[in-house]
Amino acid sequence: MGMEKVILPKSLEGKTVLVAGAAGFVPSHVCELYVGLGAKVIGLDNFVTGTEANLTGLKSNSLFDFRECNIFESLPSFSGENIDYIFSLASPASPVDFSKIPMDIMRVNSEGTRFLLELAKEKKARFLEASTSEVYGDPEVHPQTEDYVGHVNPIGPRACYDEGKRFAEAMCTVYKNFHGVETRIVRIFNTYGPRMRPDDGRVIPNFINQAMNDQDISVYGDGSQTRSFCFVTDLVQAMHYVMHSPVDTPVNIGNPDEYTILEAAKFIIDVMGSNSKITHLPLPKDDPKKRRPDITKLQSFSDYVPQVGFREGLLETVEFFKSCV
């Protein structure tokens, strides 16, 4: 794909970046990156899954402006304000949320995304949609490339999120083609790191919590299903590359290092020096058997290489979880 490599801006002074979902795990790190580059950052959140604690380091910064709102009901007024970049990162994404707040998830990815796209259209802002590897469903192609259209159950337990994100991608494409909005789409693969919710329900928080307390580690099925774990700062760097690239079609972002769930469980026990044993539980419905991003496309236009290894990233995440207890 002989594309020129993206040169990232050294400073974004004078620019304004809107981050929807700012109090969430990944978005709070995005806010910090852009404040660090000198941009004014406007954060939106309704604290359904995000927390005030994630904004602690930002609240005292004069470049950060937080506005509490529910983006699928209405946005605050931005009249007279310039907005250059919009990050659509507001959707809850944890499996525990799929059964608790499915309607919120569907609405934030439909009505919420539309409100943000309308704002992008009005402000002539560049818009980045945080989609997900879940759009591939339980994939029949491995590793997953962006041209794979997925194997998704539209009425399954994960459908509110899978189909919500597929709809958000379709809406971005319509706004790009019919309204000329500059859109970017990233498909995020498994991400971990400080500020994850300890009750997130995903593999890493579950295993760390259990290992921290020397409890049995619950592995679903035989543990042969795979995941690829990306540390949050690497993921945010990948997102940054896509936002500043000319690429307006979906881009996988994550770390292609692949582990079986059983390997991950043993690794976490080892890294934490835990006395936990492994127990096996039945596999949940529609649980993907394989997850690994093909990031050839991302690397064709950027110098992106994941910097944080699994051990180093886990140790930082463990420290964060200990601080939450």
Pairwise CA distance, residues 65 & 32, whole Å? 12
Alpha helices in 37-140 (DSSP H): 56-59, 95-100, 102-107, 113-123
Count Cβ atoms within 10 A of the Cβ of residue 303 and give its class: 0-12 exposed, 13-18 middle, 19 or more buried.
exposed
Q: In sequence order, what are the beta bridge partners of 128?
A: 87, 184
| 217-220/251-253 β-pairing | unpaired
Judge whether 49 and 198 are in contact, CB under 8 Å: no
d(CA 198, CA 92): 14
- What gap in Å lies between CA 89 and CA 253, rounded to an integer? 14
Identify the bridge partners of residue 44 per DSSP, sorted by sequence position. Answer: 20, 67
Q: What distance in Å separates the CA atoms of residue 273 and residue 234, rounded to the nearest whole number?
A: 26
At residue 194, what is the residue type?
Answer: P
Q: How far apart are CA 43 and CA 205, in angstroms?
A: 26
Among residues 85, 161, 241, 259, the one annotated as catalytic is 161
Per-residue pLDDT of the chain (325 residues; tens, 9 = 90+): 568 899 999 999 999 999 999 999 999 999 999 999 999 999 999 999 999 999 999 999 999 999 999 999 999 999 999 999 999 999 999 999 999 999 999 999 999 999 999 999 999 999 999 999 999 988 898 999 999 999 999 999 999 999 999 999 999 999 999 999 999 999 999 999 999 998 888 899 999 999 999 999 999 999 999 999 999 999 999 999 999 999 999 999 999 999 999 999 999 999 999 999 999 999 887 777 888 999 999 999 999 999 999 999 999 999 999 998 7
- Report yes or no: 39 and 125 within 8 Å, Cβ to Cβ: no
Domains, in order of start, for the chain: 16-192+231-256+292-307 (3.40.50.720)
Does 161 participate in catalysis according to the annotation?
Answer: yes
C-beta atoms surrounding 246 within 10 Å: 10
